Amino acid sequence: MTEGIAEAEIAARREAVYRIMEALEVVEPSRIVLSRAAQPLPTTLGTLDAIHLATALVWQEQSGEDLVMATRGQSLATAARSVGFTVIGC
């Protein structure tokens, strides 16, 4: 056991994390994203949150797919909801 968690449970949690990671797409911050983050956004955000939201907006525009935003930050969650994203984690 590790800190009270059985090894089988740790293995199951790791497997779940790897499944989630396979479904994620990593997007590099580009000039387009940074330019978008510098533009007015629907709510006031810090720099990193603005980059995250701009990345999501650009990705959705380019892919045409729906996006789910995962965040623990209330400001980013509010901004993401205001542009129509489904938000989990907050």
What confidence tens digit (pLDDT) does each residue in 49-60 have? 999 999 999 999
Length of the chain (residues): 90
pTM of the model as a whole: 0.74
3-state per-residue secondary structure call for the chain: CECCECHHHHHHHHHHHHHHHHHCCCCCCCHHHHHHHHCCCCCCCCHHHHHHHHHHHHHHHHHCCCCEEECCCHHHHHHHHHCCCEEECC
Q: What is the pLDDT of residues 23-39, one digit of tens each?
A: 887 888 899 999 999 99
pLDDT at 52: 96
